[in-house]
Amino acid sequence: NIVGNLFGAGKMFLPQVIKSARVMKKAVGVLIPFMEAEKAAKRLADPTAAETESHAGCILLATVKGDVHDIGKNIVGVVLGCNNFKVVDLGVMVPCERILDEARKCKANIIGLSGLITPSLDEMVYVAKQMEKEGFKVPLLI
């Protein structure tokens, strides 16, 4: 919130926001093994825990075809992961067909698309139209 508030107030600029995001990503990278180890220990202590362990939902994230900018997507993924969402991150330059196929496979509750450059908007519109055409009912976050 601090970085977002400073950016919104014009007291922090994009290069600083990007640097903050990179620091956050590295910090989370250090924490993830500990978080996974804690989950594994719980499963070992109670083998039925895996059956009852639940997530707040599953979100599929992808940077659309034609774009490699993923800092925003990565931040969203980290925040949702820390809030008990199962996050399926397909990476960058992901074509529409793969996004929709993977969303079906993981039974995504939400599909999140990322992109920075203007042509990405056209690809996002294409994905939205394909979702509608194929009968997807899950929310699309852009």
Q: Model confidence over 90-121: pLDDT tens digits?
A: 999 999 999 999 999 999 999 999 998 888 99
pLDDT at 53: 60
Torsion of CA 71, 59, 92, 36, to 10 degrees: 70
Beta bridge mates, 58: 86
Model confidence pTM above 0.85 = no
pLDDT at 55: 80
- Supply the angle between the helices 71-82 and 14-45 in degrees, to the nearest 10: 30
d(CA 126, CA 43): 42
pLDDT tens digit sequence for 15-28: 887 788 778 778 87
d(CA 48, CA 119): 47
Higher pLDDT, 56 or 18: 56
Residues serving a catalytic function are: 67, 69, 120
Average pLDDT over every residue of 30-46: 83
One-letter amino acid identity for 67?
D
pLDDT at 75: 82
